[in-house]
Amino acid sequence: MEHKLTENSILEQEDKLYTAIKAGNITALDQLLHDDLLFILPGGETITKEIDLDTYRNGALKVKELLPEVEKLHIIDDMAVITLTMKLSGEFNAVPFEANFRYIRFWKKFPDGIKVVGGSGIAFQPQ
């Protein structure tokens, strides 16, 4: 029997992603991100899954605080589109940062689980 995606299943995946990001858990990130992932960083660069994982492997990104707030979540057949804001703080290349970001992420259902296939993030100033 084919299970449909639900808001709860996507929110569970988002929670797993936040936990993996904070812990720098490469194994969990590897499972959550699709091999063909494309993501646009706040600076405009497009990265792949391997580039993203390398950021954690080499210790360039260390996230101390991550406070997500989901804005919208739409289920479209075997895909989900989520928008959220997130307050992030930590270190990038040993330089401390604290900023607010708005993300869009695309999740897709596969036989081996629900994975992120794409997304984008921008820095913004909360009103």
User: 3-state class of 56 per DSSP?
Assistant: helix
Tens-digit pLDDT profile for residues 12-42: 999 999 999 999 999 999 999 999 999 999 9
> What local confidence, expressed as pLDDT, does residue 1 receive?
35
**Residue listed under structure tokens 């639900």:** 6
Domain parsing of the chain, residue ranges: 7-123
DSSP state of 110: E
Residue 73 has pLDDT above 70, yes or no: yes
Residue 125 phi, psi (nearest 5): -100, 120
- Residue 78, token pair as written in the block: 């075997």
Contacts of 66 (CB under 8 A, 6+ apart): 18, 21, 22, 86, 87, 88
Rg (CA), the chain: 14
Q: Does the domain made of 7-123 have the CATH classification 3.10.450.50?
A: yes
pTM of the complete model: 0.93
Tens-digit pLDDT profile for residues 78-125: 999 999 999 999 999 999 999 999 999 999 999 999 999 999 999 999
